[in-house]
Amino acid sequence: MKISTNVKLLLSFLSVLISSSSVIAFPHFFPNISSIPPSFLPNTTTAAWTAFHNLSGCHSGQKVPGISKLKNYFRYFGYIGNNNTNNFTDEFDESLESAVRNYQLNFNLNATGELDDTTVNQILKPRCGVADIVNGSSTMHSGKASSMTGHSVAHYSFFPGTPRWPSRRRDLTYAFDPRNQLSDDVKRVFGSAFNRWSEWTPLTFTETSNYLTSDLKIGFYAGDHGDGEEFDGVLGTLAHAFAPPRGLLHLDIDETWIVDDAIGSGSTTAMDLESVAVHEIGHLLGLGHSSVEDAIMFPTISSGVRKVELDRDDVEGIQVLYGTNPDNNGTTTGPSFGERETSGGHRESLALVQMLFVAVGLGFFVL
Ligand SMILES: [Zn+2]
Ligand SMILES: [Zn+2]
């Protein structure tokens, strides 16, 4: 009798564990690509937006299965108004053509309104879940006129109303959702990401263990997690964060996150955690998306790429909101901008060094 009661207790305990883990599970972190077991690597053919491949070449006037899903994509990121919420058809209509054209403008592509290969490839890239166009006003391409050319130049943006942390709150605290049970290694990645913003501003960021009272709250979640912004499984949207003073930074628990690969993993499915964290912190502080491809606030990032250094565009934007770091010289002409850390750059220089060694080796052999 006593045994069966214990078994029942154990079963109910296990069922609580299982049901709670379906809401909050544990994210998967790996130090680098070679530490990921092959069986664990997610299948990209089932990734969130893979089916959009089939829409390459589509243009206005056509009716193609899958167009309605693409309209949902454009609605999610602000390119189609919220009035047209449901009942999307598979017609490539005027509203979709205009959405595609605005998307192309924001991403520096030829603004044809047609789904050419380049546009579809850009659409497929993993990205931030924050909309590019908020409340109908384009926040990415509405740049100020360049004094040199008189043309509009794309640059940093803010959320509507330019929300920012008030001047009495320059020392912000951050904490991690305790349910994720993050390791110190993972927490250090966020610490490094915060430092990249404090270096250029009067803001400071201090970790606290008090999740409920911290200014900034970081957590990994799956699917619908209660804020109306669902995550979508492998790739697709990677993370999102809310403008000041909400202070919420959420990451998709279904991604495979790389935490310790200084040159970028080159993986086709794993994402560099710090790269995504630096971007989302920009939103926590009040920055919107930028059309500048090298900027941290550009909305997309490819898997396996590491991009963690602020661009001049990011620094100029954040300093409009908060001013310069009094401990730094605060100018945007520092050396950091010439030495951007990306996987591509390191790969190229590595390849060059390898070629030099081969050339020197061949020279010796010939001699
Ligand atoms: Zn974003
Ligand atoms: Zn969320």
Do 176 and 292 reside in the same domain of the chain?
yes
Residue given tokens 């640059």 in the structure block: 155
The angle, 0 to 180 degrees and rounded to 10, between the axes of the packed helices 117-124 and 94-106 is 80
Q: How remote is the CA of residue 55 from the centroid of ligand 1, in Å?
A: 25
**Whether residue 195 is found in the same domain as residue 308:** yes
The pLDDT tens digits for 115-161 are 999 999 999 999 999 999 988 776 686 544 444 444 556 589 999 99
- pLDDT at position 141 is 65
Mean pLDDT of 328-355: 46
Whether 128 has a binding-site annotation, put simply, is yes
C-alpha distances out from residue 328 to 171, 199, 303, 317, Å: 17, 7, 33, 17
Cα–Cα nearest to 315, from 345, 340, 349: 340
Residues with CB under 5 A from ligand 1 (ion): 128, 130
Which residue is catalytic, options 207, 280, 293, 339? 280
Indicate whether 365 pLDDT > 50: no
- Is 297 annotated as ligand-binding? yes
CA distance 226 to 1: 42
Ligand nearest to the CA of 248: 2
- Determine the average pLDDT of the residues in 39-67: 87
**pLDDT tens for each residue of 344-361:** 333 333 333 344 433 444
Q: What is the pLDDT of residue 86?
A: 67
Identify the pLDDT of residue 126: 96
List of residues 6+ apart from 113 with CB closer than 8 A: 59, 60, 97, 98, 100, 101, 104
**Contact indicator for 230, 254 with CB cutoff of 8 Å:** no
Closest CA to 66 of 79, 82, 49, 83: 49
Is 28 marked as a binding-site residue? no
pLDDT digits (tens, 9 = 90+) for 161-220: 999 999 999 999 999 999 999 999 999 999 999 999 999 999 999 999 999 999 999 999
35 in a structural domain: no
Q: How far is the CA of 250 from the centre of ligand 2 (A)?
A: 5
Q: Which ligand is nearest to the CA of 253?
A: 2
Is residue 3 one of the residues assigned to a domain? no
Nearest listed ligand to the Cα of residue 77: 1
pTM of the model: 0.82
Helix (H, G, I), strand (E, B) or coil at 294: coil
- Distance (angstroms) between ligand 1 centre and the Cα of 17 equals 33
Quote the percentage of the chain above a pLDDT of 70: 76
| Distance of CA 68 from the midpoint of ligand 1 (Å) | 24
On the question of a cis peptide bond just before residue 245, with omega within 30 degrees of 0, the verdict is yes
Tell me, yes or no, if 230 is annotated catalytic: no
- pLDDT value, residue 339: 47
- What is the token pair recorded at 198? 């404090």
The CATH number covering residue 232 comes to: 3.40.390.10
pLDDT at 332: 52
Side chain identity at residue 252, one-letter code? D
Nearest CA to 70 among 103, 42, 45?
103
Q: Are strands 216-221 and 237-241 parallel, antiparallel or unpaired?
A: unpaired
Ligand nearest to the CA of 280: 1
Which residue would you say has higher pLDDT here, 263 or 106? Answer: 106
Instruction: Examine the domain organization and report whether 109 and 194 are in the same domain.
Output: no
| 55: CATH | 1.10.101.10
Domain range spanning residue 275?
Answer: 171-344
Average pLDDT, the chain: 83
pLDDT at 362 over 80: no
Q: Are 317 and 287 in contact (CB under 8 A)?
A: yes
User: Does 283 count as an annotated binding residue?
Assistant: yes
- pLDDT digits 0-9 by tens, 247-278: 999 999 999 999 988 777 778 889 999 999 99
Half-sphere exposure of 31 (CA within 13 A, CB side): 4
What total of structural domains would you count in the chain?
A: 2
Residues 106 and 182 in one domain: no
Give which of 278, 267, 262, 259 is closest to 235, Cα–Cα: 267
Q: Give the sign of the dihedral formed by CA 32, CA 123, CA 197, CA 307.
A: positive
Is the pLDDT reported for residue 366 higher than 50?
Answer: no
Instruction: Measure 151 CA to ligand 1 centroid, in angstroms.
Output: 25
Are both 223 and 288 inside the same structural domain? yes
User: Is 289 known as a binding-site position?
Assistant: yes
So what's the pLDDT on residue 200? 97
- Domain end call among 124, 147, 162: 124
**Quick one: 106 and 250 in the same domain?**
no
**313 annotated to bind ligand:** no
User: Annotated binding residue at 255?
Assistant: yes
Ligand 1 centre from 273 Cα, in Å?
14
Residue 76 alpha carbon to ligand 2 centre in Å: 14
